[in-house]
Structure 1
Amino acid sequence: MAIDVQPAVSPMLTVSDGAAAIDFYVKAFGAEELGRVPGPDGKKLFHAALRINGALVMLNDDFPEMNDGKSATPEALGGSPVTIHLTVTDVDAKFQQAIDAGATVVMPLDDMFWGDRYGELRDPFGHLWSMGQPMREVSQDEIDNAIKQHQ
């Protein structure tokens, strides 16, 4: 039997507490846990898989001993240069749900010049998330003019 493999790009998040991260993502984003692989101590997770907003998101606990002795969490690195974006419906409710679950606001929701209602959050593990909901069609001329006005 052949295995059907579809091309995909899926984030793999390193966190300081995998079990707590799964709980947070379920509460904040309505994640569905697909499975987890515990490490040898039974406490840390070698691997976990979630479905968030229809997409696969993987995560693992931090194992510095498997990373040249270096921690790879956003906290240890002084933040994350990557933002994971969720296109959603009812962005105001979903954004508030994430806040209620423990996310902190990085950029409040606002109606943006490119046509989305958009905002950014930081989860309790240091990862950045943005949420957007398309609200209106915007022409390239409108975008160009809005950018010129912000310079």
Structure 2
Amino acid sequence: MAIDVQPAVSPHLIVDDAAAAIDFYVKAFGAQEYGRVGGPDGKLVHAALNINGFMVMLNDDFPEMSEGKSMTPTALGGTPVTIHLTVTDVDAKFQRAVDAGATVVHPLEDAFWGDRYGVVRDPFGHHWSMGQPIREVSMEEIEEAMQQSQ
């Protein structure tokens, strides 16, 4: 029997307290849990969620699997990655994340590229941007706005 594989790109997050992270993502983003695999020490070695219609994987931090280094955003002093969610009703969804415990990094605003856009940091250090298209913007308008901001 052949396994049907659909090409995809899925973020895989490393966190301290993966079980708490799952609870947060359910509250903040309406995540649905596909499942989790616990290790003998109680840490989660793998979990998978559906967030905004797509799979996000996560696990607890295992420094022994990363050359002895912790790989959480907290341990690394931040994250260079932002996970973007294109949503409807961005104001309500942004507020839901904040109410669940996310910290506002960039408040919601009507951005020059045509989205209502903002960024939050989850309690585990990962950044999540949210955007909702609100108007069509040409490349010329975007370029002009970029020139005016310099």
Instruction: Specify the TM-score bucket, using the shorter chain as the normaliser.
Output: over 0.9
Give matches, 1:1-151, under 5 Å.
1-41=1-41, 43-151=42-150
Distance between the aligned counterparts of 1:67 and 1:91, measured in 2?
36
Deviations 1:77-108 (A, max 9, x none): 00000000000000000000000000000000
Distance between the aligned counterparts of 1:4 and 1:66, measured in 2?
30
Question: Structure 1: 5+ residue runs without aligned partners?
Answer: none
Deviations 1:14-55 (A, max 9, x none): 0000000000000000000000000121x2100000000000
**What is the one-letter code of the residue matched to 1:49?**
A
SS at match of 1:136: coil
**What is the one-letter code of the residue matched to 2:26?**
V
- Length-normalised TM-score, structure 1: 0.98
Q: Percent identity?
A: 78
Counting matched residue pairs gives 150
Distance between the aligned counterparts of 2:3 and 2:105, measured in 1?
41
**What is the one-letter code of the residue matched to 1:47?**
H
Runs of 4+ in 1 over 6 A off after TM superposition: none
Deviation, 1:67, is 1.4
